[in-house]
Structure formats: C-alpha cells, structure tokens
Amino acid sequence: MMTQAYYTGISGLKNSSTGIDIVSDNLANVNTMGFRGNDYEFASLFEDSLATTSNITSNSIGLGTRIQASPMTQTQGSFMATERSTDLAIMGDGWFGVQGVGDPMYTRNGAFSFDSNRDLVTDDGHYVLGTMAGNINGNTLTQVLSNTPLSDVTAQEKLRFPNDLIFPSQATTKAEFSGNIGTEDELRTMSSSVIDSQGNKNELRLEFTKAEKQTPPGTQWDVKAITRDKNDPSKVYDTQTGFVSFNESGALISSTLTSIDNNGTSVAIDLGEKYSGVVSISNMNISSSSSSNGTPKGDLVGYDINKDGDVVASFSNGIQSSVGKVAVYHFQNDRGLDRVSGTYFSISDNSGKAIFYQDKNGQNITGTDMTNFKLEGSNVDMTVGLTDLIILQRTYDANSKSITTADQMIQKALNMDA
C-alpha cells in the first residue's frame, strides 16, 4: 500500500504538471487573435475493487490518474473591430486555409493583408488559400463578377492579384432619353455622355425644333442628333436628323431618328414610346434626363474583401468586380485537428479531411457568415483559467505531500524492523 502511494503521488504530480502547462499556455494566449484554447481530461489508472463482507457496498482503490485527452475548446471568441477591410472573422463554424512550407494549415485568425506583390497573406507571411475568379488576363479584367463560386476543396490556391489592373473601356451602344419638351415653339435640347471604342467620353446632343408644318391633333418636331468631343465641342463625329410626332395628349407616336455614329461605334437612340420617354405636354415643367450603357477605362484603385469572402477590385471609373474568394473549410471533428503552433492547426485521422459545404444545387459554399473589419479574439476565459490554475497547483501540492507521507511511513517501518 505504501508503494502504491508512491505511484499515485507520482502520477498526480505528472498529470497536475501537464494540466498546469495546458492552462498556462491558454492564459499566455488570452490576447492572441483567433486562438483556440485546450481543455484537459483525467482518467483513473488501474483500480482494484474491494467488496465488503456484506457484499452490499463496494469500494475501489486506484493507482493514480493519467491525462486522457486535451481537446480543443470550441467556444467562439469575442469580436474586435479593426480598420482594415481585409480583416475577416468567421461568425460560426469553419476555418481559413493558409499555405506555408509543406501541407496547408487552418486557422481562425483572419488578420489578412496584401503584401507588396498583391498576394493575400497572414500577418506572419503565410499565403491565404481560396479560389481565383479567372476573370483576369494579364493586367486586364475580362469580366465583371458579383461573386466568385468556390472550386473543389482540393483545388484551392494562393490568392495572387496583379499590382496593376485595368478595366477596359466598353463603347456605348445605346442611349435612352426622356423628358418633356413642351408644346411651345422653342429650341429644346437633351444630352447624354457616350463612350467611343477608344474609351473617350463624348457627348450625344439632341436638338428639338418645332416643325414648320403642323398636322393637328398633336405636335410634330424636327430633331437633330450630334456626337462630338466632350472636351472640344468643335470636333464633331456625326450628325443625323429625324422627325418625331406626338398625339394630342403629348404621347410619342413615332420617331425616324434611330442611330448615330460615335467616332466609329454605332449608338442606338431610344426616345421611348407613348409616355415612357420623350413627351410633348403643355402646362408642365420642361425636363430632360438620359442614360446610356458603356464604361470608360478604369485603373485599379485597390483590393478589398467583403463579408462573403470575395476579394473585390475597385477601379477609378467606379466599377467593382469580384476577382477571387477566400475559402472557408469545415471538418467532421474540429476537436481532432492537431495544433501546429499558436493559432495554426493541421488535419489528422481524428479530424477527417477538409470539406466544403454545398447548397441544394450541389454548389460549394462557405457555409457560414463572415464579417470584415473585425477579428475573432482568443476564446480563453481568464477567470476560468486562473481558477483551474489554482486547483491544479493545490492538487500538485497534495500529491507532493502524499509522496512525502509515504516516504515517512516507509522510513518508520524500516526503523521498526531494526
């Protein structure tokens, strides 16, 4: 029994020390972004059952304890506001994937930024994994996307974007006009900006003059369309004329003005129909408005990340487009991940392989909510940690005293033999 006290005390010292190490590591990382703490679980060693003579109750004597597991704590840390749109926090289940040297690692720390090469990286230089949108050819954006679908979980790659990116100009092919030109015999004008094939912003001007010959009911107008350089109005590209008719209520009946050349690009002119476009109504304010498609050339302003994890490129012409998406990985057993160091984990047999969630159509999705301009803090509760640390220290002291007591008992037994 005295020898057993040694075993029990030594196992208690060993496991209390391990528990102190675990709690101390948790407390040391209480301010580490994205840190997931570890718990500890003890199990009894061999036990001998000792039955009483009445065989009604029983008791057992064990040989100490052992650390059975040190599972990851799954509670979510609190969120902290930041000033970077590239800082991300996962609101629920999931992990960011990063690539360093060797196999991918997984983390809850979303403190990301773009380095000098426009690579999306962590603060300590690991590359963030995700899906490239495939809409960049060299230094040119080829397609505007509102979001980027996630590719296969095994096909995620480093998110790399060019330092210089251009949004090519798109020539105007249609211009729409609306407004009231009234019924008085006065010059009425409307204008719209139109983009030519070289990316220049020009002006399309309409001039309405009341026709000399009127055929009641309603009014008839001559209209002249002019395309010219917006910065140099004397530089005219084309002039077209037409004839428009309105009924007695001012609704547009017909127009012979259909299109005009804009420095090499044909632009369709849409005056609407009935009351939906240009009208000729008396006793109403004179008004005009226009809209046109086409976009001028844009230079890259910068990259941001939105709450859906899309990397968004912004251009000087106001256009924004998704050019990639940050991947969010999931596991069958998050607690089975192996800690590599700090906030980084790797897959294990217990965690299972990394997977993506899918929607009802079989498309890969992040499967959780994200928010930018925020980071998830450590999930370590300092009050719980300090309490556990006191308990473990007292346990350590108690086991130490049990060894001392067993030693004293053996010394007395030896002296009795003498």
Amino acid at 242: G
Tokens for 180? 């009231």
Bridge-based pairing of strands 120-122 and 140-141 is unpaired
Whether the full predicted model's pTM is greater than 0.85, yes or no, is no
Does 274 lie in the same domain as 194?
Answer: yes
Instruction: Specify the DSSP class assigned to residue 216.
Output: S
Q: What is the sign of the dihedral through the CA atoms of 106, 111, 116 and 120?
A: positive
Residues 87 and 190 in one domain: no
| For residue 217, cis peptide bond before it (omega within 30 degrees of 0) | yes
165: Cβ–Cβ under 8 A, 6 or more apart, which residues? 136, 139, 140, 141, 299, 300, 313, 315
- Residues 163, 150, single domain; the answer is yes
Rounded Cα–Cα distance for residues 249 and 230 (Å): 35
CATH number at residue 271: 2.60.98.20
Instruction: Name the stretches of the chain with pLDDT < 70.
Output: 1-7, 9, 12, 40-70, 417-418
163 with 116, same domain? Answer: yes
Element (H, E) at 382: helix 382-417
- Do 262 and 178 have their domain in common? yes
**Same-domain status, 131 and 88:** yes
Cross-strand bridge partners of residue 369: none
Distances (CA, A) of 387 to 27, 65, 86, 268, 381: 11, 21, 37, 76, 10
The residue out of 224, 257, 292 marking a domain boundary is: 292
Distance CA 128, CA 99 (A): 6
* Residues 368, 391 within the same domain: no
Q: What DSSP string describes 41-67? A: EEEE--EEEEE-TTSS-EEEEE--EEE
282 and 188, same domain (yes or no): yes
Pair 363, 388 in one domain: no
Of the residues 250, 266, 292, the one at which a domain ends: 292
- Which range of residues forms the domain containing residue 22? 2-73+378-417
- Do 157 and 304 lie in one domain? The reply is yes
Number of domains in the chain: 3
Helices (H) and strands (E) in the chain, counts: 2, 35
CA pair distance 241, 224, nearest whole angstrom:
4
Clarify whether residues 106 and 189 are in a common domain. no
* Strands 344-346 and 112-114, sheet pairing: unpaired
- How many residues belong to the chain? 418
Give the pLDDT confidence score for residue 147 in this predicted structure: 94
Give the pLDDT confidence score for residue 56 in this predicted structure.
47
Q: Which two tokens stand for residue 10?
A: 């030594």
Q: Is 301 exposed, middle or buried (0-12, 13-18, 19+ CB in 10 A)?
A: middle
Smallest Cα–Cα separation from 326: which of 314, 337, 312? 312
How big is the CA angle at 300 (ends 298 and 305), to the nearest 5 degrees? 125
Structure tokens at 358: 């899918």
Residues 246, 311 within the same domain: no
What pLDDT, on the 0 to 100 scale, is given for residue 411? 79
Domain-ending residue, one of 292, 313, 343: 292
